[in-house]
Structure 1
């Protein structure tokens, strides 16, 4: 029986002595963490830069809050599909090249968004941004799971998620301030330019892969078998559902808090609303910290605590005090980034093979949560105001707590 050259290379690679993993504290470890921090920053800044602009879009294009939210929901829906495809395609391509191309294309599309005259053209470009970004999240998670020593994976994944926190904060704050000063078009152009700069930094810093060789000739049967294995692996389907819960609740609250704060009695400006998103910086601390705590005390415990913190944050936003609302947003943000760091790292540990595919399934659910719940939240806002939005998010988080408790039980039994 003949063996293809690609298969022969893969077999030879596996038979050779294993290359060392990146150890926590080494120079290569920190270069990799910094490179993927830039990738995380660019991904979330390009993705969520429109979130504080939803009221501005309503005013500029004459669309409703639910319609305005499509500028984000369509992007995350496209990203969900693209991530799923990219996770499988990435098994046969260079991870570094794929992430670089993704960051470049999405940055250029964001620059183009600053010049569109019509609402539907803006929605089209935002959908294309989501498709272009698909080559980063799952591939980055797979790269970390493959290259990092298991003892340092939690912290490395936390630092990557911390980069997404910086990106989410910067995207919101920069667009809020620049929109007040120069208009939303200038704000979008600046975000696109910063994305290009982040891509260049990522490309310069990321070390070459040591534990991954692109596999050629992988057909539908291979991918279907890998998919079934992931759904049959104890704990993984619940972690996929956890991604939906975490992102769905987080994005829904952030989507509509701007509508509440821009209206009486608060009457905040775009800059002031953007400044509230500085609480995103708490995610920079919470992500690596929670990853390290999960390595030490168990992932289930940290995940339960993260969801409980998010639920407490939702309750605080029900108070009329602006300081209480800001504290609630802070709690929700800390809990979200801590929970996401733990859940995404857990996926990489449970998936024994096809880590890119497992990451893609997690992120498919994650971004579907953003798209579906983010849009549904608009109807709850229209029907019940902030109480309706808060009730929707709280119900979703309670489902998440049940899942986290089951994962903790499996973890203690050694099956997850």
Structure 2
């Protein structure tokens, strides 16, 4: 959630600046691209049902990292149109990775203790929103000190931390 929140907190700043100079309406239209990530929900659910939760979580964290690397590299493209397409593709990949992570994570949490599902799910959601707040705050600091590239670096680092957590809990990423 921290990666997702960091990206979506700062993307409006990036898109309103040169070379894009999008209006609030243009930024809102760009944000609709993120809705494409919703297609990942049933796919992630099927992965979990087939016993591929760990592999799916690792893949979603790799996807988040790759998406943010793509968005960061858009900073160095001379064509604003190509850079905007790269940002849109990165947003879609980020949202797919985030959606898979959330779906598989919630599935795993709900299977821990069925009799305590409500309490565990409440804790999971609370921690998820704390991660979102941390990501938003980190994006603000990163934007202030290093612009869009720094935001992507910070957001990608949250994905990397999640991937390393996967590796430490499973033995292999």
TM-score for both structures, normalised by structure 1: 0.38
Q: Which residue of 2 aligns with 1:323?
A: 85
- Structure 1 unaligned residues grouped into runs of 5+: 1-246, 411-416
Q: Larger relative CO (CA 8 A, sep 6+): 1 or 2?
A: 2
1:273 counterpart = 2:21: no
Where 1:264 maps in the other structure, the secondary structure is coil
Runs of 4+ in 1 over 3 A off after TM superposition: 406-410
Q: What CA distance in whole angstroms lies between the structure 2 residues aligned with 1:408 and 1:295?
A: 19
Greater helix share, structure number: 2
The Cα shift of 1:344 comes to 0.6
The Cα shift of 1:409 comes to 5.0
Residues 267-293 of structure 1, C-alpha deviation per residue, up to 9 Å, x if partnerless? 011121111122222222101111111
Q: Which residue of 2 aligns with 1:188?
A: none
Q: What CA distance in whole angstroms lies between the structure 1 residues aligned with 2:98 and 2:64?
A: 7
1:398 counterpart = 2:150: no
Q: Which residue of 2 aligns with 1:363?
A: 125
The structure with more radius of gyration:
1
Contact 1:299 1:408 in 2 (8 A): no
Where 2:111 maps in the other structure, the secondary structure is helix
Question: Which of 304, 307, 313 pairs up with 2:67?
Answer: 313
**Count of matched residue pairs:** 164
Contact 1:261 1:273 in 2 (8 A): yes
The Cα shift of 1:397 comes to 0.9
Contact 1:316 1:328 in 2 (8 A): yes
Contact 1:248 1:372 in 2 (8 A): yes
Q: What CA distance in whole angstroms lies between the structure 2 residues aligned with 1:250 and 1:395?
A: 12
Residues 280-320 of structure 1, C-alpha deviation per residue, up to 9 Å, x if partnerless? 22222101111111211420001110111111100111113
Aligned-CA RMSD value = 1.6
> 1:405/1:291 Cα in 2 relative to 1: closer, same or farther (>3 Å)?
farther
> 1:277/1:408 Cα in 2 relative to 1: closer, same or farther (>3 Å)?
farther
1:333 counterpart = 2:95: yes
The Cα shift of 1:354 comes to 1.4
TM-score for both structures, normalised by structure 2: 0.89
Contact 1:300 1:405 in 2 (8 A): no
The Cα shift of 1:253 comes to 0.5
Q: Which residue of 2 aligns with 1:100?
A: none
